[in-house]
Amino acid sequence: MLTQAPKGTKDIFGAEIAQWQIVENKMRNLCRNFGIDEIRTPVFEHTELFLRSVGDTTDIVQKEMYTFFDKGDRSITLRPESTAGAARAYIEHGMFNNAQPTKLYYIAPTFRYENTQAGRQRQFHQFGVEMYGSYSPALDAEAISVAYELIKDMGINSVELRINSLGCPECRGRYNKMLRDFIGDNLDNLCHECKSRYEKNPLRVLDCKEEKCKKIIAGAPSVIDCLDEECTEHFETLKEILAGMGISFTVDPMIVRGLDYYTRTVFEFVTNTIGAQGTVCGGGRYDNLVEECGGPKTGAVGFGLGIERLLMTLEAQNGKSEYKPFRHLYIGSIGKKGFIKSQAITFELRKMGIIAECDTVGRSVKAQMKYANKIGAMYSLILGDDEVDLGKASVKNMETGETTEINISEIGAKMKELLNL
């Protein structure tokens, strides 16, 4: 067990970590362009935060949270999602006193105890955006546009935006009654969990993945039919803004999302390239969450995106990435003088932004050159007693075999010239 990662976790390295870094850099650059600031919240929070915000009828709370008592006998939970923690931070630090809207993003490890499958781990990573301080559908559209631009920037094809509106609590109350009436005599045919949901939150039945439940609710009435005038206007304006932005969408009344805090707008970006679990990104509006967590009334909207799922989509589309190590220069050495000098020169070059490597193992010269090839060195040179004493060495282009004599004291400037840095 000491040499095996726990089930549902994995190590990320090599070609895979290179892909992660590319994706994360795109996320950070995109958020900078949208004026969204980064936030890093604790990996664990008080359990009550998730019970109040996520909802006790959700799968997350009922089955998936990693909850434990700490040494002070406090109930603590590893974050199963990041919106609640961001809302807590928004309240705790009085961000509502700042000029609004407040726009935050995070790239964070997240934890849920669930059956592992492709793209779904017990420790996974989310990129998310949370926007506070406006009830306008314009903020909904801005959040959606961030996700849209990221997916476009990543070059992901065959992704469809689906949107819906759950309305305000009053609209949902009317719809819940209509949904209970629709299910009616089929209650006994629902799965065990949906029977509980039917009483506490029938809207969650629409989110069930059991085939028998999906068949029962296939012809369910649309929540959109229960929207009041204000919620209808909000949804219609959102659609107009998205159309004006050139963002295509489909209205899907079956989208409810899996968390209880959503109000009005909900949305998902869906792909068919990774099988049944096709949601790449999802989110919506949660106008009551900040108040429910102890803050002032605050309009808010956001989304979360699983980085593993995103990378799975990219791999399905483009194929698996290959790991290609790379160095600008490898400095080999012969004898103690060359060995000592190579360490000093490598350190100086690295400070200049040149990716340099030298021998730290004690290999033979032949083995050093093999290693230079393995790490993808563009250039190499060998330092021995003569080179150190004369202050000159020959730099070899590893691809063409061409050599260039240089003064060792000028190696940094010469390498920048050769590399066009």
Asked whether 261 and 288 are in contact (CB, 8 A), the reply is yes
| pLDDT at position 55 | 65
In whole angstroms, give the CA distance from residue 389 to residue 367. Answer: 24
With tokens 């060792």, the residue in question is 408
**Number of neighbouring beta carbons within 10 Å of residue 346:** 19
Listed in sequence order, the DSSP H helices in 93-228 are: 137-153, 169-183, 192-200, 211-216
Residues of the chain with pLDDT under 50: none
In whole angstroms, give the CA distance from residue 37 to residue 30. Answer: 11
φ/ψ of 397, rounded to 5, equals -75, 115
Say if residue 101 is preceded by a cis peptide, omega within 30 of 0.
yes
Q: What token pair was written down for 266? A: 């909900």
pTM above 0.85, yes or no: yes
Q: What domains are defined for the chain?
A: 14-168+228-318 (3.30.930.10), 327-419 (3.40.50.800)
- Cβ neighbours of residue 48 under 8 Å, at least 6 residues apart? 75
In whole angstroms, give the CA distance from residue 119 to residue 313. Answer: 9
Q: Which whole-number Å values give the CA distances from 131 to 38, 139, 208, 237, 278, in the listed order?
A: 12, 7, 28, 18, 25
| pLDDT at position 275 | 54
Find how far residue 108's CA is from the centre of its chain: 7
Q: What token pair was written down for 34? A: 């949208």
